[in-house]
């Protein structure tokens, strides 16, 4: 006689630095087991899917007992819940084997990543930028990426869904995620960047101040990048590049990078 409800236990143990023994054990004794060559989140989730397909169904109740230790804990919890939610999404009656039928739509494993929300109210994912409310600045958010959408979570709470960016460098932003301009200028990050710029040189200071005055939130990464360029190229070269950018009316990080690569600011000062 088949039990009215079968419990599934997700177990496992490490087998050296790069391997994991995955086990899915049902309360009636049936089990699925495989050796994972890599302890990535995708490999671990894929093992679940193969277990369900081997059993020909999904237990009505599933408990997580163990998972690879080197997986990011925040991503692990959200990703596992996402997988289970997919297989339990539609109400279905258990079959003769005591398991719920597999859903019609197969589960496509998303890309999972954790990242802190930058002071410009964006996280970086696959080379593009996605906004979240400024109250979460500095918080570690979990990112769920598919071909169509990018979802952001604060712990287990959904924050926002964005359409997936079409190209690298693209920004997907919601205006309500930004602080007001007055509040933005009072936040620690702009004040810190201005302070660092003043210690480098007058042209660097003027350019950084201009960027942060015009774009107090969106310009944070660019202003921060200009300050960081001094570590790579030296203060004098960056000061010359910023002076060139100011004279050219190009108030951006890209303009300074262009001047440094082409020697624009340095050449103009030598010719003068």
Is 189 within a domain? yes
* pLDDT tens per residue, range 113-172: 999 999 999 999 999 999 999 999 999 999 999 999 999 999 889 999 999 999 999 999
User: pLDDT at position 265, please?
Assistant: 55
Q: Do 171 and 185 share a domain, yes or no?
A: no
* pLDDT tens per residue, range 192-230: 999 999 999 999 999 999 999 888 888 999 999 999 999
Rounded Cα–Cα distance for residues 3 and 72 (Å): 35
Is 103 within a domain? no
Q: Do 23 and 54 share a domain, yes or no?
A: yes
DSSP annotation string for 66-89: ---TTS-HHHHHHHHHHHHHHHTS
CB burial of residue 138 (10 Å; 0-12, 13-18, 19+): exposed
Is 105 within a domain? no
Question: Which residues span the domain enclosing 162?
Answer: 111-177
> 194 to each of 35, 118, 209, 220, how far by Cα in Å?
53, 17, 7, 10
How does residue 15 score in pLDDT terms, banded at 50, 70 and 90? confident
Is 101 within a domain? no
260 and 238 Cβ atoms separated by less than 8 Å: yes
Is 1 within a domain? no
Q: Do 150 and 198 share a domain, yes or no?
A: no
> 266 to each of 53, 99, 134, 200, 229, how far by Cα in Å?
65, 72, 39, 17, 15
Q: Do 144 and 74 share a domain, yes or no?
A: no
* CA 222 to centroid of chain Cα atoms: 20
Lowest mean pLDDT among 50-54, 187-191, 195-199, 254-258: 187-191
Is 98 within a domain? no
Q: Do 19 and 76 share a domain, yes or no?
A: yes
Q: Do 126 and 206 share a domain, yes or no?
A: no
User: pLDDT at position 239, please?
Assistant: 95
Q: Do 132 and 77 share a domain, yes or no?
A: no
Q: Do 163 and 228 share a domain, yes or no?
A: no
Q: Do 150 and 192 share a domain, yes or no?
A: no
The residue among 134, 159, 177 that closes a domain is 177
Category of 127 on φ-ψ map: left (φ > 0), alpha (ψ -120 to 50) or beta: left
CB burial of residue 30 (10 Å; 0-12, 13-18, 19+): middle
What do you get for the CA distance between the two ends of the chain, in Å? 94
Rounded Cα–Cα distance for residues 97 and 56 (Å): 9
User: pLDDT at position 6, please?
Assistant: 87
Q: What tokens does 219 get? A: 């310009």
16 and 35 Cβ atoms separated by less than 8 Å: no
Structural domain total, the chain: 3
* pLDDT tens per residue, range 55-97: 999 999 999 999 998 899 999 999 999 999 998 876 778 888 8
Alpha helices by DSSP H, listed for the chain, are 41-55, 73-87, 181-186, 188-198, 202-214, 220-233, 235-248, 253-262, 264-271
- Complete edge-to-edge strand list for the sheet that includes strand 149-154: 111-116, 140-145, 149-154, 157-163
Is 14 within a domain? yes
Q: Which of 260, 151, 262 shows the shortest CA–CA distance to 207?
A: 260
Is 96 within a domain? no
Q: Which of 149, 153, 154 shows the shortest CA–CA distance to 166?
A: 149
Q: Do 196 and 248 share a domain, yes or no?
A: yes
Q: Do 118 and 137 share a domain, yes or no?
A: yes
């Amino acid at each position: 006689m088949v039990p009215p409800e079968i419990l599934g236990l997700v177990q496992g143990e490490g087998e050296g630095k790069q391997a994991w023994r995955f086990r899915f054990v049902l309360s009636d004794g049936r089990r699925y087991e495989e050796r994972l060559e890599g302890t990535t989140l995708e490999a671990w989730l894929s093992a679940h899917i193969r277990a369900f397909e081997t059993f020909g169904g999904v237990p009505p109740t599933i408990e997580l007992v163990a998972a690879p230790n080197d997986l990011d804990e925040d991503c692990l919890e959200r990703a596992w819940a996402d997988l289970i939610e997919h297989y339990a999404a539609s109400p279905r009656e258990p079959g003769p084997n005591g398991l719920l039928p597999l859903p019609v739509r197969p589960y496509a494993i998303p890309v999972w990543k954790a990242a802190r929300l930058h002071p410009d109210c964006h996280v970086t994912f696959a080379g593009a930028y996605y906004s979240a409310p400024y109250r979460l600045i500095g918080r570690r958010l979990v990112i769920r990426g598919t071909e169509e959408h990018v979802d952001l979570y604060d712990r287990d709470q959904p924050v926002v869904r964005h359409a997936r960016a079409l190209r690298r460098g693209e920004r997907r932003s919601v205006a309500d995620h930004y602080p007001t301009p007055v509040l933005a200028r009072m936040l620690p990050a702009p004040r810190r960047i201005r302070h660092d710029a003043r210690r480098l040189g007058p042209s660097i200071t003027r350019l950084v101040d201009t960027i942060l005055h015009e774009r107090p939130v969106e310009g944070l990464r660019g202003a921060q990048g200009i300050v960081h360029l001094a570590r790579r190229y030296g203060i004098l070269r960056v000061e010359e590049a910023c002076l060139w950018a100011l004279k050219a009316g190009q108030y951006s990080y890209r303009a300074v990078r262009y001047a440094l690569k082409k020697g624009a600011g340095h050449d103009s000062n030598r010719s003068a």
